Amino acid sequence: MAERIEGAKPTRMELLSIKKKKMLAEKGDEILTKKRDALVSDFFEIIKERSTARKEAFEALEKARKSLLKAEMVMGTDAVDSVAEGSPEITEIDVRKENIMGVLIPRFSVKDVEKEPHYGLARTSAFLDEARKDASEALKKMVKLAEIESSIERMAKEIEGTKRRVNALEYIFIPRLEATEKYIGMQLDEHEREDFFRRKRIKAIMQKELSEETASA
């Protein structure tokens, strides 16, 4: 049996307060349970999305690797390295956050700053341009995968926290309120019975005294 709240006084005012707290706790439990269930549903959807994103990212990386090998075979490794060292960073990643049921989910997007390559096309191979495009696509896939992985981590933490709050309400707080409500109710009923019998005894005594006075008169 759950422990009752310490210091609760067996009064009607306290009973009303306990009932109000229990009602609010039950409403909070209902809201949190719905939130938990919705988060779990979204969580498993993202898990499925991660499987696809991983496959696409690794495939894109493998394609970019093969394209780079072709460029190195045609141009030579030193030439490709020289072009790479002379090229500036061409990509930016925009970061924003989206609020989903109280969880701040990261949203990443790759912004292509450079539309055309900085290196001279006349002294390079078309394979290098192809490798550059494949690498850019692989980066986008990896950024998408990173977004999904981060979302999964944040949602998992929120689900765990919500579950703890639901469990605290269902197994600790609400049972204590119910036990306290029952205790106060029993105490008030006991007081009412005592008052009833006390009034009954007083009435019987008064009737007896009245009868004796009437008889002596």
**Rounded CA separation 175/4 (Å):** 8
Print pLDDT tens along the chain (217 aa): 678 787 788 889 999 999 999 999 999 999 999 999 999 999 999 999 999 999 999 999 999 999 989 888 888 888 877 777 766 565 678 888 888 888 888 888 887 645 555 555 445 568 888 888 898 899 899 999 999 999 999 999 999 999 999 999 999 999 999 999 999 999 888 888 888 888 888 887 888 777 766 766 5
pTM over 0.75: no
From the number of C-beta atoms within 10 Å of its C-beta (0-12, 13-18, 19+), residue 86 rates as exposed
Torsion of CA 53, 42, 152, 99, to 10 degrees: 110
Domains located in the chain, CATH noted: 12-207 (1.10.287.3240)
Secondary structure class of 89 (helix, strand, coil): coil
Do 191 and 10 touch, CB atoms closer than 8 A? yes
For residue 190, give both structure tokens.
């006991």
CA proximity to 136, closest of 161, 157, 111: 111
The one-character DSSP state at 102 is T
**Rounded CA separation 130/132 (Å):** 5
CA proximity to 133, closest of 116, 110, 109: 116
Q: Which segments within the chain are labelled E, that is strand?
A: 91-100, 103-112
Do 162 and 36 touch, CB atoms closer than 8 A? yes
Give CA angle at 165 (162, 170), nearest 5°: 125
What are the phi and psi torsion angles at 146 (to 5°)?
-60, -40
CA proximity to 106, closest of 94, 116, 117, 114: 94
